[in-house]
Amino acid sequence: MSEKDYLQDITEIKAIMNKSTRFISLSGLSGILAGIYALLGSAFGYFLINSYKTNESPISLMPLNYFELIIITVAITILLLSVITAFILTRKKAKKNNETVWNSTSKRLLVHFLIPLLSGGVFCVVLYQYNLIGLIASCTLVFYGLACINASKYTLGDIFYLGLANVVLGLIATQFIGFGLFFWALGFGVFHIIYGTLMYNKYDK
């Protein structure tokens, strides 16, 4: 057997091992759409906040706790749209790759992703409880980044860099209280679009 045959065998073995330990069907397009949803949500949130502060609409007459509830509802809606879109597109890609969406690897991916994410969610509730609202945007970026980093060993390794970028951005955002929405738009919007575009060109085409 020639050296070329040995190298080909090793490459095939590595591909089989990678497929068995990593969930490779995440859709780059879902990242792009999630980024677009986040930018639209940020723009709408900015409009609401600006209107509330400047008394330019009836919404400014609303009690503060109700207004905050509206902002939280917008954020949850964006999250749900992103999750649903990611599931639909990932399922479609998984079928194309002869891979099931719900297998042992994807379960490990989900668990390792949710542990930091849910921890961050609880911590954000505590920040809200103690009226430390200015830190919530940076907190979501940091914990989301940690979730991506923690899950990267069970999926495409490129998501590690998305997570790292969001962690760094979130830490920077702690020094610019009052501009959290802009950092949120950059991390969840622009970064996701860049990441999704790179992944689409690298894996989906």
Q: What is the pLDDT of residues 69-79, one digit of tens each?
A: 888 888 888 88
The whole domain housing 181 covers: 27-204
On whether the CB atoms of residues 31 and 106 are closer than 8 A, the answer is: no
State the sign of the Cα–Cα–Cα–Cα dihedral 167, 168, 174, 176: negative
On whether the CB atoms of residues 104 and 113 are closer than 8 A, the answer is: no
Confirm whether 4 is domain-assigned. Answer: no
Confirm whether 113 is domain-assigned. Answer: yes
Confirm whether 12 is domain-assigned. Answer: no
On whether the CB atoms of residues 40 and 32 are closer than 8 A, the answer is: no
Helices 136-151, 104-129: axis angle to 10 degrees equals 160
Mean pLDDT confidence for 116-133: 91
φ and ψ of 78, to 5 deg: -60, -40
Q: What is the pLDDT of residues 91-107, one digit of tens each?
A: 787 777 676 767 777 78
On whether the CB atoms of residues 34 and 196 are closer than 8 A, the answer is: yes
What's the CA gap between 54 and 186, in Å, rounded? Answer: 25
CA-nearest of 120, 85, 75, 97 to 22 is 97
Mean pLDDT confidence for 14-38: 70
Confirm whether 155 is domain-assigned. Answer: yes
Number of domains into which the chain is organized: 1
Q: Where are the alpha helices (DSSP H) in 22-158?
A: 28-54, 64-96, 104-129, 136-151
What's the CA gap between 114 and 168, in Å, rounded? Answer: 20
Confirm whether 13 is domain-assigned. Answer: no
Q: Is the pLDDT of residue 18 over 50?
A: no
Confirm whether 66 is domain-assigned. Answer: yes
Q: pTM of this prediction?
A: 0.81
Confirm whether 200 is domain-assigned. Answer: yes
The mean of the pLDDT values for the chain is 82
On whether the CB atoms of residues 168 and 33 are closer than 8 A, the answer is: no
Confirm whether 8 is domain-assigned. Answer: no
φ and ψ of 132, to 5 deg: -100, 55
